[in-house]
């Protein structure tokens, strides 16, 4: 079979041990994103299988109808909001999915961003590299309030780490979050307003669904302290478009640490956050570590092998 792997940013798919599963097939990889629909369609035109690395490629109807050989989109991960499932059905394209959920890596990055931002690590390290004197005072984590919006699997790990550093945990979310907060002995906010007003550090851990898209708006951000930090390693679309940029310019919150963006990848430094000293940015690294990649890509490649052998594959559900 002809297998295409677009947007392999880390240039890593062929260096994973699980890549041996695709031996005997023609595998074509692209690291740089296509600059247009025409270029993307040309790259994938021969592919019978396309490996969808999370949500890096938008599989629109306009794209799918230009891929006459496509029979399977194999997801790296469990779900994607960037696939037109109706178009796949109309063109006889299956979408396979992984099953694993590995929360440790994104939780670790969340904690790393939180610590790095509050203690001005990146800012001062860059200054030291340039030969400058220390120029800032940072904010202590111990004794401050860590707000967790969504006490799910990742949020629970972040809360546990924050508590281990002496932070007071304030959770908010649905009934399941309330139950987990009670069981762990955490405070549960009286409302979303209460969460945003009281948090010194506020970390978002909400799944992106139609009902959560834009769940954080300008009014929420305006309630944050001027010394507060907002951390987002979940999805950029949880925050209403441009709301965080406007809020930072207005000084509430005073800081942000972000790993996710509405348009990824961010290339050539083309994002206003990158010009703001009070914002710490990383290029969607939450899941990007060796163990995660081996796990998620292995599940994806196993589905491709099953399809090639005529065995059933796990079908992804439309979201």
Catalytic residues: 235, 264, 284
Peptide bond into 265 cis (omega under 30): yes
CA-to-CA distance for 278 and 98, rounded, in angstroms?
37
**Side-chain half-sphere of 273: how many Cα atoms within 13 Å?**
23
Both tokens of 140, joined, read: 């202590």
* Contact yes or no for 141/166 (Cβ under 8 A): yes
Q: How are beta strands 94-96 and 201-204 bridged, if at all? A: unpaired
What DSSP string describes the chain? -EEEE---TTS-GGGSGGGGGGTTSEEEE--SPPSSHHHHHHHHTT-SEEEEETTSS-B-HHHHTT-TT--EEEEESS--SSB-HHHHHHTT-EEE-------HHHHHHHHHHHHHHHTTHHHHHHHHHTTPPP-------TTSEEEEE--SHHHHHHHHHHHHTTPEEEEESSHHHHHHHHHHT-EE-SSHHHHHHH-SEEEE-----TTTTT-B-HHHHHTS-TT-EEEE-S-GGGBPTTHHHHHHHHTSSSEEEES--SSSS--TT-SGGGG-TTEEE-SS-TT-SHHHHHHHHHHHHHHHHHHHTT---PBPPP-
């Amino acid at each position: 079979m002809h297998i295409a792997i677009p947007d392999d940013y880390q240039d890593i798919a062929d260096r994973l041990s699980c890549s041996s599963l695709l031996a005997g097939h023609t595998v074509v990889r692209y690291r740089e994103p296509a600059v247009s629909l025409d270029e993307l369609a040309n790259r994938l035109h021969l592919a019978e299988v396309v490996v969808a690395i999370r949500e890096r490629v938008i599989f629109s109807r306009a794209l799918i109808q230009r891929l006459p050989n496509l029979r399977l989109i194999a997801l790296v991960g469990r779900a994607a909001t960037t696939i037109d499932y109706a178009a796949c059905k109309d063109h006889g394209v299956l979408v396979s999915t992984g099953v694993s959920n590995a929360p440790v890596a994104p939780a670790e990055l969340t904690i790393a961003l939180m610590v790095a931002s509050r203690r001005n690590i990146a800012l001062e390290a860059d200054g030291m590299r340039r030969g400058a004197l220390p120029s800032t005072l940072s904010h202590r984590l111990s004794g401050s309030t860590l707000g967790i919006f969504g006490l799910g699997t990742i949020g629970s790990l972040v809360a546990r780490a924050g508590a281990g550093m002496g932070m007071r945990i304030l959770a908010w979310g649905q009934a399941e979050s309330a139950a987990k907060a009670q069981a762990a002995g955490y405070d549960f906010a009286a409302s979303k307003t209460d969460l945003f007003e009281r948090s010194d550090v506020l970390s978002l851990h909400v799944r992106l669904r139609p009902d959560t898209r834009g769940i954080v708006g300008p009014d929420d951000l305006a309630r944050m302290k001027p010394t507060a930090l907002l951390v987002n390693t979940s999805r950029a679309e949880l925050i209403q478009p441009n709301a965080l940029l406007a809020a930072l310019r207005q000084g509430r919150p005073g800081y942000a640490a972000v790993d996710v963006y509405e348009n990824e990848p961010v290339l050539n430094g083309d994002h206003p956050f990158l010009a703001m000293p009070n914002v710490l940015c990383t290029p969607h690294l939450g899941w990007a570590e060796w163990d995660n990649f081996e796990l998620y890509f292995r599940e994806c490649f196993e589905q491709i092998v099953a399809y090639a052998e005529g065995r059933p594959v796990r079908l992804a559900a439309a979201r």
